[in-house]
Amino acid sequence: MKKILITGVLLTLLLSSCEKEDKKEPFIGPKLPSNFPQPAYDLSANPVTEAGFALGKKLFYDPILSRDNTIACADCHISFAAFTHPDHPTSHGIDNLFGKRNALPVQNMLWRTSFFWDGGVPNLDLVPLNPIQNPVEMDESPAVVLEKLRNHPEYPGLFREAFGSEEVNTARFLQAMSQFMAMLVSADSRYDHYVRKEPGGEMSVEELAGLAVFQQKCAACHATDLFTDQSFRNNGVIDDFSLDKGRAEVSTFSEDIGKFAVPSLRNVAATAPYMHNGKFKTLESVLDHYAGGGVKDSPTLDPLLRQSDGTLGIPLSTAEKAQLIAFLNTLTDETFLRDARFAQ
């Protein structure tokens, strides 16, 4: 189970909007892409201001959030890798400890209906409490974090700029972190320009063929322009769930054992390694997995990976694999990956 403190008091604090009336600055964004659905996050309850975003960014990059002041959020979420951790199959945190899961991208968080591979956290505002308290990530108590921020030479002033007074409290801390993460919108890939019929949206014959294969064989789960239907599925990556039961860690239902959140495929060329346990280093090996090679059978394996003749996986020819790779590469959004507003 996720170690997380969703107390009544905290929720009341989060839901109250009394924090905002002192904010002087205008709403700075983000711009909502026309090809995306409606966001799940209520931006009107926590509008992004220049000062709130700047505070959230400073916190995201500051190891002060960890017990020994060595690990920042940004150590595992690196901007040029769509805020994932390159070369790390599973997370690498405090005291050189390793977790059991691959860092997820922090992008388009406004649209997520639940967070983490098991969907254990329902609201973006509650996400930071999880890595902060996780004993193999930052291993710190939120109360101590707030105390460190109160005694810091700069933070009280930054809280004043963002929220009108120097008070450092949980709700403000979490709102500032959400303001930074809310701005991390990736919707400027060549594919986006193509679907929005904008200049710079030219797709090659190979890429368009890949899009057609994708729509036929992948889009049932990697749905909409977010490239996820936000459900939990078992795509046959593992069949031994003793280390990680996936969605069942939260729901405790046996029918959820082995199901993991369908990840978005935006910027997927920049987010290797792949899957909840970082099993695959390349997109080619992911496609070889789907094409049957390594799909592991188990009671919750998704029916889409079980063909009518009993074979496992999704049939893909060599040509289709090449087309899919070409298409997946059009989801890379260099503007986002190199956006100086988001990098340290």
Question: Site residues (CB under 6 A) for ligand HEC?
Answer: 60, 65, 71, 73, 75-77, 91-93, 99, 101, 103-104, 106, 109, 112, 115-117, 127-128, 131-132, 137-138, 177, 181, 217-218, 220-222, 233, 235, 237, 260, 262-263, 265, 268, 271, 274-276, 283, 286, 290, 302, 304-305, 314, 324
Pull the structure tokens for residue 237. 């990556």
Q: 117 or 336, CB closer to ligand HEC?
A: 117
The alpha carbon dihedral of 231, 180, 277, 290 has a sign of positive
**Least gap, CB of 89 to ligand HEC (angstroms):** 10
- Please state the closest distance from residue 218 (CB atom) to ligand HEC, in A: 3
Complex with ligand HEC: residue 51 or 126, whichever CB lies closer: 126
Which residue, 51 or 314, is less far from ligand HEC as judged by CB?
A: 314
Give 1 or 205: the residue with its C-beta nearer to ligand HEC.
Answer: 1
Question: Min. distance of Cβ 242 from ligand HEC in angstroms?
Answer: 15
Distance CA 90, CA 113 (A): 23
Q: Output 13 or 182, the one with its CB closest to ligand HEC.
A: 182
Token duo for residue 15: 């839901």
| Distance in Å, CB of 208 to ligand HEC, minimum | 15
- The amino acid at residue 121 is V
User: Taking Cα atoms as reference points, which of 155, 172, 142 lies closest to residue 67?
Assistant: 142
Q: How far is the CB of 333 from ligand HEC (least distance, A)?
A: 15
Cα distance between residue 88 and residue 255, in whole Å: 30
CA-based nearest residue to 325, from 278, 275, 290, 300: 290
C-alpha to C-alpha distance for 169 and 206, rounded to whole angstroms: 53
User: At residue 292, what is the residue type?
Assistant: G
CB of 199 to ligand HEC, least distance (A): 27
Q: How far apart are CA 188 and CA 196, in angstroms?
A: 10
**Cβ closest to ligand HEC, residue 45 vs residue 223:** 223
Query: How many angstroms from the chain centroid is the CA of residue 75?
Result: 15
Task: Please give the Cα distance from 189 to 35 (Å, whole number).
Answer: 12
